Structure 1
Amino acid sequence: MQQEETIVLFPSAGIGHVVSMVELAKLLQTHNYSITILLTTGFLDHPSIQTYIHRISTSHPSISFHRLPHIDPTTTPTTVSFITKGFNFNKRNAPNVATTLTQISKSTTIKAFIIDLFCTTAMEPASSLGIPVYYFFTSGAAVLALYSYFPKLHEETNVSFKDMVGVELHVPGNAPLKAVNMPEPILEREDPAYWDMLEFCTHLPEARGIIVNSFAELEPVAVKAVADGACFPNPEHAPTVYHIGPLIAEPQQSDAATDSKQCLSWLDEQPSRSVVYLCFGSRGSFSVSQLREIANGLEKSGHRFLWVVKRPTQDEGTKQIHDVTAGEFDLSSVLPSGFIERTKDRGLVVRSWAPQVEVLSRDSVGAFVSHCGWNSVLEGVVAGVPMIAWPLYAEQHVNRHVMVGEMKVAVAVEQREKDGFVSGEEVEKRVRELMESKEVRETSFKLKQLALAAVEESGSSTKALANLVETWTGIGI
């Protein structure tokens, strides 16, 4: 009797990674595979994850979740960075992954094991069991090109990128990138996360394939560089890359359901293409002084706005918060005195969260001020909304170059070199520029059509997915 065939997916800890993998799982199940998603326990756990997986299990019976045994992350030295703690946690889960894969393969044929980049240490135990390993890369092709090329950049220098002021790096498939704008984990050689990322990126060519949440028409320069193998150490042994996006997460449930309805109702009352929507992802945040500059710029711009404000950071240099659930805060205390009252006829400020996919789909939204996180970029593209690019951390500076230079769906804010600060005058200037730009609006609309076409029956992403699934035919362990 033939065994059932399954695909096993392994995301990093945290709701964002889990949601991305679930979206991939939903796509794969349309090809009649059952899916098992391995979930870590002990780091970045949150009740929302449990609620979410219950909802997915109920609505998609062919997707099941398997909890790995609890691991205590506090045994990691407290002196290391947050990112290093996460990497260490993933590494310590490798034995649990090996045990679980062995168990699953006793009753089921595992056709593929799909991991994210930060779970690279799970590659070896899977390969030793004869299971084909694939990466699911949730950023775009330009970032994949950069990470694939990173081992070569590492060999060419012996100082930290953060100290290479004034130096531009030239990476296949990418616009020139300031060394100081490299993604965080690889900015500082003294941080153990740097060496972890070097190890992860060195293993990229060893995968059977790399699945990317992008589509061929979105960033053709990077897609070609990756396909040609130009960014891999040995172009002849470059892995096959499958661009299967755009994958957009389904609207998330939130405790702030009442606030969600309020902001959507407010948007429905505004004129077409009149509102500037500002949101900086689930973790992007600012100091109080930066928040006040944004407020001043919005007020002087004269345009309508919907602004999601997160709890402020404690210092100017920090652009993100790791604990997104921590503490309420008083909006009026972090914004200029009287700002909310003065702008109440044309602006709405909401605290912490808004239903972004629904917001961007509203006819009244004419611009999106974004931190350039890849999910947000794709959501803006699919909605056909022009963007103002304001990168904060991670690989967002790379994405900004693609959005402004290649996609031409965004204008970029000028940021102060030393700390990324943006003046109120600059906010006002860019809001006015984008809201008045017919050219960027038309380009955004065209790219939206290409995004929709990519996932149609004869689209490039649909074909790429079919090619991927075809490679699993006949594979067994």
Structure 2
Amino acid sequence: MDNGSTKQTVVLFPGGGVGHVGPMTQLAKVFLGHGYDVTMVLIEPPIKSTDSGAGFIERVAASNPSITFHVLPPIPPPDFASSPKHPFLLMIEFMRQYNEKLESFLCSIPRARLHSLVVDMFCTHAIDVAAKLGVPVYTFFASGAGVLAVFTQLPALLAGRRTGLKELGDTPLEFLGVPPMPASHLVRELLEDPEDELCRTMMNTWKRNTDTHGVLVNTFCSLESRALQAFRDPLCVPGRVLPPVYSIGPLVAKGGSGEDEEGAERPECLAWLDAQPERSVVFLCWGSKGSLPEEQIKEIAAGLERSGQRFLWVVRTPAGSYDTKRYLEQRPEPDLDALLPEGFLERTKGRGFVLKSWAPQADILTHPATGAFVTHCGWNSTLEAIAAGVPMLCWPLGAEQKINKVLMTADMGVGVELEGYNAGLVKAEEIEAKVKLVLESEEGRGLGERAAERKKEAEEALKDGGSSRAAFLRFLSDVENLRA
């Protein structure tokens, strides 16, 4: 791998957000394991927040001393609060303005040492920088192959339409490589008018994901073989040959990764789990940003109480709705007494544990007492549960999570749907019934067995000779051919 006596440097550019820096850090470890130097280029977050995301980068940097972190010189952030534009558009524009600074940084690395630039799915504007400098550029798609397959085929579907997809309601749309997808399950912003600036920008972003020399996807072959095959089908994007897609996952945070300070006390929730029987606890968490309305929190409490099952529940301060303006804001700690039904904590003492705001999710999922996971179906959470062999109760909120839900329930067989999320309220009876189903019933046992099988497949994929390991070696050899 050495070029003379100096190692080659891979530059990773993850864009914004905990959900993107986390998986890219896992990708960095794979490069390090193959003998490369890795520099992760970051931009100052445009909104200073003190919630679970703040300090995340510092924690990641402190616990990964072998990765070099380089923060680009800051530029003035957009005014999210007063701009009439959608925050996504402002964010994409803001990141594009960093192209010049990214170019200067790449030029500071001796050309013979610069191996490749790997950009996040939202940093496709940086492809132009790599093209200008003649550097091999690849996309890292932090979601799964099924979502990439849908996004890659969407522009052609929308190109012929005058109106948005919203009017199709739950009409199933056919895409290569995935089960039929209800139109309502696509990313909300894509359902509007195809001529809308937000819709056009998103479409362009998805199209450019496959404008690189190849796409690294955080998945593994046996989990999404149909979707991965779709990219090699000439009908996927008629008239266009897609670049290679490499499934190199699952890249997930390991439990007990030491991301807390050395000698830190074991979190109380893990000590509580230690005292519970194997596979007896349902863990409820909606990602680093997801939060639910107050009425919904009360329904969950009622459902959990009636189910009689053990639970570990992350409760956040309710958001008015799951919209992007709120999504970017910092959220205060929840007032449990006001949110939960009177006497709930007292009545469920011992068999329930409620956490405010943050949970060591990877540690909880890999704990032997955890038997089910109520999740918003974000891809990182989904993969963490698959790697831990934990079956899921699917409750998508936004982004591409409904697409993931279809894949998890209809394709991978690792989850069941909690009905009602699409109408805005999952009832207590539904929560009670589904929690019992997964933890107690024959159907739940089958789900658990499939989840255990997937866990084994995930481990196999990452071993020497496994599919993900082989895909990564194929990627390295393809880069070498480009550089030759």
The TM-score, its normalising length taken from structure 1, stands at 0.92
2:478 corresponds to 1:471:
yes
Secondary structure, aligned partner of 2:41? strand
Q: Select between 367-376 and 30-39 the one with higher mean Cα deviation.
A: 30-39
Secondary structure at 2:373 match in 1:
strand
CA distance in 2, matches of 1:51, 1:205: 31
Residue identity in the other structure for 1:140: G
Equivalent residue, structure 2, for 1:455: 462
2:40 aligns with one of 23, 37, 46: 37
**Range 449-458 or range 223-232, more displaced:** 223-232
* Aligned mates of 1:475, 1:252 — CA distance in 2: 38
Give 1:17 shift. Answer: 1.5
Q: 1:239: which partner in 2?
A: 243
The alignment partner of 2:8 has SS state of strand
Instruction: Tell me if structure 2 keeps the 8 A contact 1:11–1:39.
Output: yes
Residues 1:211 and 1:50: Cα distance change in structure 2 (over 3 Å): closer
Retained in 2: the 8 A contact 1:285–1:310?
Answer: yes
Identity of aligned residues (%): 37
| 1:399 partner amino acid | N
Q: 1:279 aligns with which of 278, 285, 304?
A: 285
Indicate whether 1:164 and 2:171 are aligned.
no
Q: Does 1:123 align with 2:130?
A: no
> Displacement of 1:357 after TM fit?
0.9
Equivalence for 2:232: 227
Q: Are the aligned partners of 1:260 and 1:354 in contact in 2 as well (CA < 8 Å)?
A: no
Distance in 2 of aligned mates of 1:276 and 1:49: 26
Residue in 1 that maps onto 2:337: 332
- 3-state SS of paired residue (2:464): coil
Number of residues of Structure 1 aligned to a counterpart in Structure 2: 469
Give the alignment partner of residue 267 of structure 2, picking from 246, 256, 261: 261
**8 Å Cα contact 2:136-2:483 kept in structure 1:** no
- The alpha carbon displacement at 1:367 in A equals 0.6
Which has the larger displacement, 88-97 or 391-400? Answer: 88-97
Q: AA paired with 2:41?
A: L
CA distance in 1, matches of 2:75, 2:309: 50
Gaps of 5+ in 1: none
CA distance in 1, matches of 2:243, 2:473: 17
RMSD (Å) for aligned C-alpha atoms: 2.4
Find 2:93's aligned residue among 75, 78, 88.
88
Residues 215 and 245 in structure 1, CA contact (< 8 A), matched pair in contact too: yes
In the alignment, the residues of structure 1 paired with residue 83 and residue 481 of structure 2 have an alpha-carbon distance, to the nearest angstrom, of 47
Q: Secondary structure at the match of 2:480?
A: coil
The offset of 1:13, in angstroms, is: 1.5
Structure 2 residue identity aligned to 1:71: I
Could you give the per-residue CA deviations for residues 222-253 of structure 1, whole angstroms, max 9, x where no partner exists?
12112335433435x21101000000124474
Aligned partner of 2:229: which letter?
Answer: K
Say if 2:334 and 2:357, in contact at 8 Å, map to a contact too: no
Residue identity opposite 1:451 in structure 2? A
Deviation sequence 1:54-81 (CA, Å, 0-9, x none):
31452x1xx2122112122225662222
Q: CA deviation at 1:325?
A: 4.2
1:370 counterpart residue number: 375
Q: Does 1:5 align with 2:8?
A: yes
1:16-66 Cα shifts (integer Å, max 9, x gaps): 3122211111101111111111111242456514422531452x1xx2122
Taking a change above 3 Å as real, the CA distance of residues 338 and 406 of structure 1, as seen in their structure-2 partners, is: same
Other-structure match for 1:432: 436
Q: CA deviation at 1:464?
A: 0.5
Q: Residue type matched to 2:346 in 1?
A: E
Distance 1:50 1:221, change over 3 A: closer
Give 1:318 shift.
5.1
Q: Distance in 2 between matches of 1:56 and 1:416?
A: 37
Match of 2:403 in 1: 398
Closer/same/farther in 2, CA of residues 335 and 206 from structure 1, 3 Å limit: same
Q: Distance in 1 between matches of 2:329 and 2:363?
A: 21
CA contact 1:13–1:45 (8 Å) conserved in 2: no
Q: 1:139 to 1:372 in 2, by over 3 A?
A: same
- Name the CA distance, whole Å, in 1 between partners of 2:481 and 2:68: 23
* Matched position secondary structure for 1:153: helix
Q: Check the 8 A contact 1:136/1:211 in 2, yes or no.
A: yes
CA deviation after TM superposition for structure 1 residue 176, in Å: 1.6
Moved more, 79-88 or 140-149: 79-88
Q: 1:103 Cα shift?
A: 2.3
Alignment partner of 2:315 out of 309, 319, 329: 309
The answer to whether the 8 A contact 1:146-1:231 is kept is: no
Aligned AA (1:104): I
Query: Partner amino acid for 2:26?
Result: E
Matched residues in 2 for 1:318 and 1:428: separation? 28
Match of 1:19 in 2: 22
- 1:423 alignment partner in structure 2: 427
Change (3 A) 1:105 1:188: farther
**Letter of the 1:297 counterpart:** G
Residue 396 of structure 2: SS of its match in structure 1? Answer: coil
Offset from partner CA, 1:179-201 (integer Å, 9 cap, x none):
22211342333753322211122
Partner of 2:198: 193
CA distance in 1, matches of 2:55, 2:258: 10
Please tell me whether residue 216 in structure 1 is matched to residue 221 in structure 2: yes
- Report the counterpart of residue 296 of structure 1 in structure 2: 302
Aligned to 1:410: 415
Q: 1:231 to 1:254 in 2, by over 3 A?
A: farther
User: In the alignment, is the contact (CA less than 8 A) between 2:87 and 2:325 conserved in 1?
Assistant: no
User: Matches of 2:390 and 2:78 in 1, distance apart?
Assistant: 42
Structure 1 residues 57, 340: CA separation in 2 closer, same or farther (over 3 Å shift)?
Answer: closer
Q: Distance in 2 between matches of 1:466 and 1:348?
A: 44
Question: How far off is 1:311 after superposition?
Answer: 1.3
The answer to whether the Cα contact below 8 Å between 2:59 and 2:260 also exists between their aligned partners in 1 is no
Structure-2 change in CA distance of 1:217 and 1:378 (3 Å): same
TM-score calculated relative to the size of structure 2: 0.91
How much does 1:362 deviate? 1.2
Question: Displacement of 1:259 after TM fit?
Answer: 9.2
Which AA in structure 2 matches 1:401?
V
- What amino acid does structure 2 have at the position aligned with 1:84? L
